[in-house]
């Protein structure tokens, strides 16, 4: 079976978050199960030179973007045993940052057409094209409208995976003629509530729609979670399913991770205490092994539950002997708020602004707890990485957090959970974690061991994808 992953980012070439990690790790797991899975993505200008030097130019052609044609070059490289193809157009992709440009609608409509055109020019005709998030959502739409009946494109199945339904690729109707270039009788596939919605077109046209956790697949049928797409998802619920994300346990391994201060393992956990001491020194905290450290590693945006944190963090820091470190960047509202917290609590709180993968690993290794109070969380990778490093998650029961973290109140859980979107319910879960840390040391140590024993590798999830691919081709 041949599977082509279409993603706007993939590690190790370009990464802005969980999407890139999934698009880099899942194909490796599929390859390990004897599937020929390859990845196609944009050739961004920010891809490091050492990786660009390994790329081989294959071919070039022109891509139709409504009324005009644009150059497209195709490069090829191999990383971690997986073949990658790169769509080259410097006008669209040689820029600072992956997203957030004024012409993103044009950039990714071009990319979607280029992906499909490339199939005629490379030595790989996929049985399945697996697309990820709104930046690739036009691939199922364009395949259905333009390519399905072309010679060389017959019988290809398309899958669309929603990594976060909040981001849908919503644009004005003027791009229907300017960029999309389809006849009016096809507008209903891509229009929604009077505007153009890329994600809606994929939900309409893909053979299968997936999300990154079973709970999230059910949640997005509810208006509270769907960001307006629940009616169309409900109509197409027969093609919807959820498969839980995993993590790359080779990369995220405290026994070998080059980015943490000291190596350690489940069998030899002494190194975790040494990481905590080094982390306290790094951030200028008092060195004290008995004071718990809680970290937040997150984009600083509303759906991550930061309103709950805003409501009670001063109460927590004034009343509790605890240290808190926040790593991330995002909305100005939250960045400025946490700057204020740092000023009010200079001995207890630190803020590190930015997307800093090396520092995040030091936090996973050196902290005692990870806080994820998300309003919605399709899957979440941070809690899975935290478990791997023996850092105990405190999470709200939503999406993939509910599927992966069980409250340790039953003595067999791997973290602390709360249900309602309420700041003091979150604070109660935090205080339970702190109490266990301070007053029940043997139970805490057992909890850390249970966390590190959890297996969230891609192996089991890859098998679920393989079953889905097989069923889809047999239909």
Taking the C-alpha atoms of residue 40 and residue 7, their distance in angstroms, rounded to an integer, is: 7
Q: In terms of domains, do 301 and 413 share one?
A: yes
Q: Would you say 329 and 297 are in contact if contact means Cβ atoms under 8 Å apart?
A: no
**pLDDT tens by residue, 168-178:** 999 999 999 99
Q: How far apart are CA 10 and CA 24, in angstroms?
A: 5
- Give the C-alpha separation, 85 to 122, whole Å: 9
Q: What is the pLDDT of residues 56-66, one digit of tens each?
A: 999 999 999 98
Q: Which tens digits make up the pLDDT trace of 266-294? A: 999 999 999 999 999 999 999 999 999 99
| Whether the Cβ atoms of residue 163 and residue 19 lie closer than 8 Å to each other | yes
On whether both 228 and 301 belong to a single domain, the answer is no
Residues 141, 212, single domain; the answer is yes
pLDDT of 298 higher than 70: yes
Note whether 354 and 387 are same-domain residues. yes
The Cα–Cα gap between 420 and 39 comes to 39
* pLDDT tens-digit series, residues 24-51: 999 999 999 888 999 999 999 999 999 9
| CA nearest to 205, candidates 183, 190, 195 | 190
What percentage of the chain exceeds 70 in pLDDT? Answer: 100
Residue 391 domain flag:
yes
In a domain? residue 264: no
| 258 in a structural domain | no
Residue 253 lies inside a defined structural domain of this protein: no
- Angle between helix axes 423-439 and 441-453 (nearest 10 degrees) is 110
Q: Is residue 259 included in any domain, yes or no?
A: no
The strand order across the sheet containing 191-192 reads 170-171, 195-197, 191-192
Question: What CATH number does the domain containing 9 carry?
Answer: 3.40.50.2000
Rounded to whole angstroms, the Cα distance separating 10 from 144 reads 25
> Do 306 and 223 belong to one domain?
no
The CA-based dihedral angle spanning residues 470, 241, 11, 372, taken in that order and rounded to the nearest 10 degrees: -150
Q: What is the pLDDT of residue 412?
A: 86
Whether 260 has a pLDDT exceeding 90, the answer reads yes
If you average pLDDT over residues 417-446, what whole number do you get? 96
Domain identity same for 100 and 145: yes
Residue 297, domain extent: 270-455
Q: Show the CA angle centred on residue 326, arms to residues 323 and 332, nearest 5°.
A: 140
Phi and psi, residue 213, nearest 5° = -165, 150
In the predicted model, is pLDDT for residue 351 greater than 90? yes
**Quick one: average pLDDT of 313-333?**
97
pLDDT averaged over every residue in the chain? 96
CA quadruple 420, 424, 429, 432: dihedral positive or negative?
negative
Q: Are residues 193 and 325 in the same domain?
A: no
Q: How many residues does the chain have?
A: 475
Q: Is the confidence at residue 17, as pLDDT, over 90?
A: no
385 and 240 assigned to the same domain:
no
Label residues 26-62 b or e (16+ Cβ within 10 Å = b).
bbbbbbeeebbbbbbbbbbeebeeeeeeebeebeeee
| Averaged pLDDT, 199-217 | 97
pLDDT at residue 410 is higher than 70: no
C-alpha 63: how far from its chain's center? 29
Asked if residue 378 and residue 350 are part of one domain, the reply reads yes
pTM (2 d.p.): 0.92
Q: What is the 3-state secondary structure (H, E, C) of the chain?
A: CEEEEECCCECCCECCCHHHHHHHHHHHHHHHCCCEEEEEEECCCCCCHHHHCCCEEEEEEEEEECCEEEEEEEEEEEECCEEEEEEECHHHHCCCCCCCCCCHHHHHHHHHHHHHHHCCCCCCCCCEEEEECHHHCHHHHHHHHHHCCCCCCCCCEEEEEECCCCCCCEECCCHHHHHHCCCHHHHHHHEECCEEEHHHHHHHHCCEEEECCHHHHHHCCCHHHHCCCHHHHHHCHHHEEECCCCECCCCCCCCCCCCCCCCCCCCCCHHHHHHHHHHHHHHCCCCCCCCCEEEEECCECHHHCHHHHHHHHHHHHHHCCCEEEEEECECHHHHHHHHHHHHHCCCCEEEEECCCHHHHHHHHHHCCEEEECCCCCCCCCHHHHHHHCCCEEEEECCHHHHHHCCEHHHCCCCEEEECCCCHHHHHHHHHHHHHHHHHCHHHHHHHHHHHHHCCCEHHHHHHHHHHHHHHHHHC
Q: What is the rounded average pLDDT of the residues 379-404?
A: 97
Q: How far apart are CA 200 and CA 170, in angstroms?
A: 9
Count of the separate structural domains present in the chain:
2
Residue at 410 is within a domain? yes
Indicate whether 411 pLDDT > 80: no
Q: Are residues 42 and 149 in the same domain?
A: yes
Q: How does residue 235 score in pLDDT terms, banded at 50, 70 and 90?
A: very high
In a domain, 424, yes or no: yes
- Residue 261 within any structural domain of the chain: no
Q: Does residue 60 sit in the same domain as residue 195?
A: yes
For residues 421 and 465, membership in a common domain is answered with no
């Amino acid at each position: 079976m041949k599977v082509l992953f279409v993603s706007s980012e993939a590690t190790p070439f370009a990464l802005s978050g969980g999407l890139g990690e999934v698009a880099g790790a899942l194909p490796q797991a599929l390859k390990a199960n004897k599937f020929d899975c390859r990845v196609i993505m944009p050739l961004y200008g920010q891809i490091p030179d050492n990786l660009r030097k390994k790329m081989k130019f294959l071919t070039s052609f022109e891509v139709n973007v409504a009324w005009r044609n644009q150059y497209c070059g195709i490069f090829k490289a191999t990383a971690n045993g997986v073949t990658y193809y790169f769509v080259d157009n410097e006008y669209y992709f040689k820029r600072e940052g992956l997203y957030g440009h004024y012409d993103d609608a044009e950039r990714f409509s071009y990319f979607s057409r280029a992906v499909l055109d490339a199939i005629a020019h490379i030595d790989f005709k996929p049985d399945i094209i697996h697309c990820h998030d709104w930046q690739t959502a036009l691939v199922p739409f364009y395949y259905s409208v333009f390519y399905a009946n072309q010679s060389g494109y017959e019988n290809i199945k398309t899958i669309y995976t929603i990594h976060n339904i909040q981001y849908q690729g919503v644009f004005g109707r003027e791009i229907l003629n300017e960029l999309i270039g389809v006849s009016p009788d096809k507008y209903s596939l891509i229009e929604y509530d009077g505007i153009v919605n890329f994600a809606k077109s994929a939900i309409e046209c893909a053979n299968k729609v997936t999300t990154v956790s079973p709970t999230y697949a059910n949640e997005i049928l509810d208006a509270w979670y769907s960001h307006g797409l629940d009616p169309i998802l409900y109509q197409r619920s027969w093609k919807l399913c959820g498969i839980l994300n995993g993590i790359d346990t080779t990369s995220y391994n405290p026994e070998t991770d080059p980015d943490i201060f000291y190596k350690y393992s489940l069998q030899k956990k002494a190194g975790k205490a040494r990481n905590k001491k080094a982390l306290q020194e790094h951030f200028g905290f008092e060195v004290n092994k008995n004071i718990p450290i809680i970290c937040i590693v997150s984009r600083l945006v509303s759906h991550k539950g930061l309103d709950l944190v805003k409501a009670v963090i001063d109460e927590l820091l004034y009343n509790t002997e605890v240290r808190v470190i926040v790593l991330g960047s995002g909305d100005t509202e939250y960045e400025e708020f946490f700057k204020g917290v740092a000023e009010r609590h200079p001995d207890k709180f630190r803020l590190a602004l930015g997307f800093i993968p090396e520092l995040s690993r030091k936090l996973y290794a050196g902290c005692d707890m990870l806080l994820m109070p998300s309003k919605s969380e399709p899957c979440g990778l941070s809690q899975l990485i935290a478990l791997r490093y023996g850092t105990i998650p405190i999470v709200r029961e939503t999406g993939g957090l509910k599927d992966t973290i069980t409250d340790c109140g039953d003595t067999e859980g791997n973290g602390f959970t709360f249900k309602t979107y309420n700041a003091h319910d979150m604070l109660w879960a935090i205080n339970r974690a702190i109490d266990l840390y301070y007053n029940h040391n043997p139970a805490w140590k057992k909890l850390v061991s249970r966390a590190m024993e959890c297996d969230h590798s891609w192996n089991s999830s890859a098998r679920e994808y393989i079953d889905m691919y097989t069923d889809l081709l047999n239909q």
